Amino acid sequence: NAGVTQTPKFQVLKTGQSMTLQCAQDMNHNSMYWYRQDPGMGLRLIYYSASEGTTDKGEVPNGYNVSRLNKREFSLRLESAAPSQTSVYFCASRTGAGANVLTFGAGSRLTVL
C-alpha cells in the first residue's frame, strides 16, 4: 500500500519551460490537494479536487493548472515556469467519513532558474 505517490522527486527547470507534477493515491479517497511549501510561508493550497472531474482554486492558483484524470490521479501543471515557483510541492488526499485526515506524498522539489 503506497499511499500517495508523487513524481518526480526533483526537477530543475529554466524560466518559461513547462512541466507536470504527477500524483496518485491508492486509498480510494475522493478528495485530493496540491500544496506548495516555502520557508516562512508554511503550506499554501494551490488547487483542490473534491472528486473525479472537479477542481477548485486554493490560495495561490496563479500560474498553475490541474487535472483530475480519474479518482486515483491528480496532476499539477506549470505552463510557463517562473523563479517564484521554486518550491517544494506536496500532494495529499483526504479520508472521508468525518475523519478528515490528510495523507501526504513525499514531496517534489522544483527549482526554476
In angstroms, give the least distance from the CB of 15 to another protein.
Answer: 27
> Interface with another protein by CB under 8 A: which range of 9-17, 70-78, 79-87, 101-109?
101-109
Does residue number 90 form part of the binding site for another protein (CB under 8 A)? yes
CB 63 within 8 A of CB 73: no
Residues 6+ apart with CB under 8 A from 34: 21, 23, 45, 46, 47, 48, 58, 64, 66, 74, 76, 89, 90, 91
In angstroms, give the least distance from the CB of 31 to another protein.
Answer: 6
| For another protein, the closer CB: 92 or 110 | 92
